Every structure is written in C-alpha cells, then in structure tokens.
Amino acid sequence: MENQLLEIKVAIQIQKPVSEVFEAIADPDKMTNYFISESSGRMEEEKELVWKFPEFDDEFKIRLGKVVKDEVICYSWDVNGYSHLVEITFKPAPGNDTIVVITEKDSKNTVPDIEWLKGNTQGWANFLACLKAYTEYGINLRKGAFDYMKK
C-alpha cells in the first residue's frame, strides 16, 4: 500500500457547448475572469506557461503536453519535488452540454502528499464550480473568495 500512487478525479456538467468550455480554459483572457490572475500565454501543445493567482504571490509553471481542441488538455507541474500530470477532458453531453473531467495523477502515498492531495482536490472542485458559474452566467465566484488567505 505504501508504494501506491494516488490521484484526484473530479467532474462536472456544464450547460454550454464543448467548444465554449474548452476555450474558457485554453484562452488566458477568459480564464483570468474566473480562476487565475495572469498567464504567460494560451494553452497550446508543448508550451511552457507561468500562472499567477490573485491570492498567492507565487508563480506556478506548467508544461503543456497533449492539447486537442475540444477534446483534451494535458499538462504537468512540479509539486513536492516531483511532477504531477493533469488531464482535462471534454465530452459532449445531451442538450449541447459538456462534461469536464479533471484527473491529476501520481501523488505519493505519504502523509505530506495526502495532505496536499486533500487541499488540491478541494482546489479542483472550486475550479469546476468557478468554470461553471463563468461559462453559464458570467459570474466570477473566485473574486474575493480567498482574500482571507493573503499574507
């Protein structure tokens, strides 16, 4: 059990077409309306980007892998000294809706990694709620939500 790798998996259905939901994530001008405060570019295959968040001073580097328009965005980022793979898939659903599934893989089965995994699972659930609110209603749920975390 100690050597088992752990993963996060979250999903939500959004009442918008796949192309619109995909663009809300791939396009930094859209993503800054509900999740990040800044990105160094569009999510495209084999690019390296830097993300900033409104409530943190840190920069987060992501390395994009496979990106297929309206199907999948894969990227990796370093956490706790090793690389994590994030896969975001987009599936058409009835009524011109989209099911978004996010999987983050390969967290070690140690107490510090499990603690991080718990927090990041909450973060991905927040991301999906923010994405849904923005794409369906134009609302930024994140605005002011984490002001209490600022140093």
DSSP secondary structure string for all residues of the chain: -TT--EEEEEEEEESS-HHHHHHHHH-HHHHTTTT-SEESS---TT-EEEEE-TT-S-EEEEEEEEEETTTEEEEEEEETTEEEEEEEEEEEEGGGEEEEEEEEEEE-SSHHHHHHHHHHHHHHHHHHHHHHHHHHH---TTTTTTGGG--
pLDDT in tens, 32-90: 999 999 999 999 999 999 999 887 788 889 999 999 999 999 999 887 777 889 999 99
Q: Which CATH superfamily is domain 6-149 in?
A: START domain (3.30.530.20)
Q: According to the model, what pLDDT value does residue 55 have?
A: 78
Give the CA distances from residue 59 to residues 5, 19, 95, 124, 133, in Å, rounded to whole numbers and listed in that order: 26, 28, 38, 18, 25
Give the CA distances from residue 147 to residues 37, 54, 99, 116, in Å, rounded to whole numbers and listed in that order: 13, 9, 30, 20
pLDDT band at 110 (very low <50, low <70, confident <90, very high): confident
Q: Parse the chain into domains and list their residue ranges.
A: 6-149
- How far apart CA 48 and CA 25 sit, in angstroms, is 15
Q: What's the whole-number average pLDDT of the chain? A: 90
- How far apart CA 142 and CA 151 sit, in angstroms, is 17
Tokens, residue 20: 């619109």
For 135: left if phi > 0, alpha if psi spans -120 to 50, otherwise beta; the answer is: alpha
pTM of the predicted model, to two decimals?
Answer: 0.90
